[in-house]
Amino acid sequence: MDIHQEKQACRGRIAQTLAPAFPVCKCLLPFVLSALLLFTGCSAGFDDKEGMTVLRYNEDQHITSLDPVFARNQANIWAVAQLFNSLVELDEELHVRPAIARSWDISEDGLEYTFVLRDDVFFHDDDCFPDARGRRVVADDVVFSLNRLVDPAINAPGAWVMNQVARKPDGRLDVRAPEDTLVFIRLNRPFPPMLSLLSMQYCAVVPREAIESYGRDFRRNPVGTGPFRFAYWKEDVQLVYRKNERYFEFDGDQRLPYLDAVSIRFIQDRQTAFLEFIQGNLDLLTRIDPSYQDELLTPDGQLQPRHKDKLQKITMPFLNSEYLGMVMQEDKLPVDWPLQQRKVRQAINYGFDREKMLRFMRNNIGTPAHAGFVPVGIPGFTDNEGGYHYDPDMARRLLREAGYPGGEGLPVITLHTTQAYQDIAQYIQFELSRLGVRLDIDVMPPATLREMMANANAPFFRGSWIADYPDAENYLALFHSDNKTPAGPNYTQFQHDTFDYLYDRALSETDDSMRTAIYHQMDSLIIAEAPKVFLYYDQSMRFVQQYVKNMTNNPLNHLVLKRVIIDKEKK
């Protein structure tokens, strides 16, 4: 019996003395007792935890590492974000705010970034330090951490974040620390999104002592500066963090965080996790599944009235553009491939009702994509009147002008997708069939589809792009000719000289308003050429118990727990 089956078999048989803080099965009690020795200290009695405030949530994805240089997916990012800090961070409106850096300055030419560090940031206590007491963070730690990110021996997935940073003759990054509280970073060329990039978990500051002490095992022995410190991890069972008593941030006179601990469970079955949440055994539900979507939401996306006394719904735009992509490079396509014609691509964009799709397929979760590829919620987004709205008459006219009146002579077009998006694909299949456009849906595993996209072997495919950082460049880079797959994320193999010119011009523009205007030109060009069928801009949705206060979100769907409060009076 594997761990998941074991948890399923004994769920509900809770160890009563541990239930208030850690609802786990008796069969896992030995593991939890070991955790509690770390969690409370050997001399603390089990009754002490009764007064602890613990935020409990489920992660149905596998957390592969607690090392920030491997924080490439949401599960890892959320787990790592509680333990580490970078030089800067993003707030709820995606503005760059100080973190380990107290302040910064950018040279007039946009090439040199100067950061002044706080002098009251300490690494977590750990045996890797001589006296097991976490030492103060200094500028050399930043130099070490950023160079570690690009170390070829590590092969970190986030090494690309440093692509704009200049290199010294020895190959190391041009990142200098002349004083303990002063860091200089020099770029190859101006790159306005650089500050946002430095907020990513890839750029978190780590201590050399821990890396040298634990080596590859740092993945499960993390030592950071964040509001919580590592306490216990039984992989795919439970992960526990404890409050960092020396965390540097305050809310007024109150040192953060408010919570005593965070407990993460790993229930893979989303329906089971949902039931645990409804029963009050989890405080936060972070993903909504079609199997219980209607139980939580009304058809127009509001919280069902029967849950309003116990639950809160937190939602906002999520920087994720969902689309259908069409490969544009002729030598990658079948002979006489109809999607090579721009008017056919435009007809498909006009040929289905996005509002109806969201209403019936997703309970209105999301925003219809009428404005191009740059999504709602990102600085620089504007509702583009030149975008695509449902217009079957226009779609029929375009098909007729392309030589396919009523779809006559148009071959069957295969759309490659995954099971999770099969319902949306079938909806579009039905809508386009009324125009005479015939779709065949090929459902495949996500890994297979990703590989086909990376090699331009899926001429028509379902895809999505989640922002790494809050700048429209992160989306528009998908259409630059230098970024064609497999070297980059240009999965459609799109190439357009005017677009490339505007992209390069935008990167050299340091005036925000001027750069945004160029971004709008680029997005308008993409709308006109239609290498993608724009579906919808996503929306993040979280549900928390009423007694959970100060739970926030931002358009990058970050999980920030340092200000969260468990209101015991209402629990």
Taking the C-alpha atoms of residue 191 and residue 186, their distance in angstroms, rounded to an integer, is 11
* Per-residue pLDDT of the chain in tens (571 residues, 90 and over written 9): 333 333 333 333 323 323 333 333 333 333 443 433 333 333 333 233 567 999 999 999 899 999 999 999 999 999 999 999 999 999 999 999 999 999 999 999 999 999 999 999 999 999 999 999 999 999 999 999 999 999 999 999 999 999 999 999 999 999 999 999 999 999 999 999 999 999 999 999 999 999 999 999 999 999 999 999 999 999 999 999 999 999 999 999 999 999 999 999 999 999 999 999 999 999 999 888 888 889 999 988 899 999 999 999 999 999 999 999 999 998 888 888 999 999 999 999 999 999 999 999 999 999 999 988 999 878 667 675 678 999 999 999 999 999 999 999 999 999 999 998 999 999 999 999 999 999 999 999 999 999 999 999 999 999 999 999 999 999 999 999 999 999 889 999 999 999 999 999 998 888 888 999 999 999 999 999 999 999 999 999 999 999 999 999 999 999 999 999 998 665 5
HSE (CB half, 13 Å, CA atoms) of 320? 17
In this structure, the answer to whether residues 395 and 521 fall within a common structural domain is yes
Residues 6+ apart with CB under 8 A from 42: none
CATH number of the CATH domain containing 269? 3.40.190.10
pLDDT of res. 51: 77
DSSP string computed for 159-220:
GGGGTTB-B-TTS-BSEEEEETTEEEEEBSS--TTHHHHTTSGGG----HHHHHHHGGGGGG
Q: How far is CA 317 from CA 103, 300, 378, 527, in A?
A: 29, 16, 9, 21
Q: How far is CA 257 from CA 150, 232, 538, in A?
A: 32, 19, 30
Helix locations, 159-316, DSSP H:
194-197, 208-214, 270-278, 293-296
pLDDT of res. 570: 56
Does residue 155 fall inside a structural domain? yes
In this structure, the answer to whether residues 561 and 452 fall within a common structural domain is no
Q: Identify whether the C-beta of residue 465 lies closer than 8 Å to the C-beta of residue 489.
A: yes
Taking the C-alpha atoms of residue 280 and residue 53, their distance in angstroms, rounded to an integer, is 14
Closest by CA position to 360, among listed 424, 288, 316: 424
pLDDT of res. 15: 30
Taking the C-alpha atoms of residue 354 and residue 61, their distance in angstroms, rounded to an integer, is 29
What is the tally of structural domains in the chain?
Answer: 3
Give me 191's structure tokens: 């790159």
pLDDT of res. 34: 40
Give me 56's structure tokens: 């409990």
How many other C-beta atoms lie within 10 A of the C-beta of residue 544? 21
In this structure, the answer to whether residues 377 and 525 fall within a common structural domain is yes
CATH number of the CATH domain containing 199? 3.90.76.10
In this structure, the answer to whether residues 254 and 166 fall within a common structural domain is no
Which of 481-515 are b and which e, b meaning 16 or more Cβ less than 10 Å from the residue's Cβ? Answer: eebbbeeebbbbbbbbeebeebbeebbebeeeeeb
CATH number of the CATH domain containing 330? 3.10.105.10
Sheet holding 182-186, edge to edge: 101-106, 112-117, 182-186, 175-179
pLDDT of res. 503: 95
Give me 446's structure tokens: 């996500």
Closest by CA position to 559, among listed 77, 89, 236: 77
Does residue 331 fall inside a structural domain? yes
Does residue 125 fall inside a structural domain? yes
For residue 105, what are the β-bridge partners?
A: 114
Q: Is 496 helix (H, G, I), strand (E, B) or coil?
A: coil
Classify the C-alpha dihedral 389-392-396-399 as positive or negative: positive
Taking the C-alpha atoms of residue 421 and residue 373, their distance in angstroms, rounded to an integer, is 19
E strand residue ranges, 288-427: 311-326, 367-368, 413-417
In this structure, the answer to whether residues 194 and 254 fall within a common structural domain is no
Does residue 267 fall inside a structural domain? yes
Classify the C-alpha dihedral 218-224-226-228 as positive or negative: positive
Q: How far is CA 143 from CA 68, 222, 286, in A?
A: 15, 19, 35
In this structure, the answer to whether residues 163 and 201 fall within a common structural domain is yes
pLDDT of res. 16: 32
Angle at 340 between CA 337 and CA 342, to 5 degrees: 140
Classify the C-alpha dihedral 258-263-267-272 as positive or negative: negative
In this structure, the answer to whether residues 153 and 192 fall within a common structural domain is yes
Closest by CA position to 197, among listed 96, 110, 54, 67: 96
Closest by CA position to 10, among listed 313, 224, 237: 237
Does residue 301 fall inside a structural domain? no
Give me 234's structure tokens: 């039984």
Of the three residues 189, 212, 235, the one that is the final residue of a domain is 212
Please give the backbone phi and psi of residue 62, each rounded to the nearest 5 degrees, phi first: -75, 125
Parallel, antiparallel, or unpaired for β 413-417 and 439-443?
Answer: parallel
DSSP-derived secondary structure letter, 319? E
Taking the C-alpha atoms of residue 444 and residue 449, their distance in angstroms, rounded to an integer, is 7
pLDDT of res. 440: 97
* Host domain of residue 521: 317-539
Q: Identify whether the C-beta of residue 390 lies closer than 8 Å to the C-beta of residue 352.
A: yes
Does residue 429 fall inside a structural domain? yes
pLDDT of res. 385: 61
Residues 6+ apart with CB under 8 A from 50: 20, 21
Q: State the distance between the two ends of the chain, measured CA to CA, in whole angstroms.
A: 35
What number of residues does the chain have? 571
Does residue 293 fall inside a structural domain? no
Residues 6+ apart with CB under 8 A from 315: 365, 539, 540, 541, 542, 553
In this structure, the answer to whether residues 130 and 162 fall within a common structural domain is yes
Amino acid at 21: A
Taking the C-alpha atoms of residue 60 and residue 71, their distance in angstroms, rounded to an integer, is 16
Amino acid at 422: Q
In this structure, the answer to whether residues 386 and 477 fall within a common structural domain is yes
Does residue 219 fall inside a structural domain? no
In this structure, the answer to whether residues 49 and 94 fall within a common structural domain is no
In this structure, the answer to whether residues 335 and 446 fall within a common structural domain is yes
DSSP-derived secondary structure letter, 63? P
Whether the bond into 257 is cis, omega within 30 of 0:
yes
Q: Identify whether the C-beta of residue 532 lies closer than 8 Å to the C-beta of residue 326.
A: yes
Amino acid at 271: Q
Closest by CA position to 439, among listed 352, 372, 360, 366: 352
Give me 483's structure tokens: 């970024």
In this structure, the answer to whether residues 392 and 455 fall within a common structural domain is yes
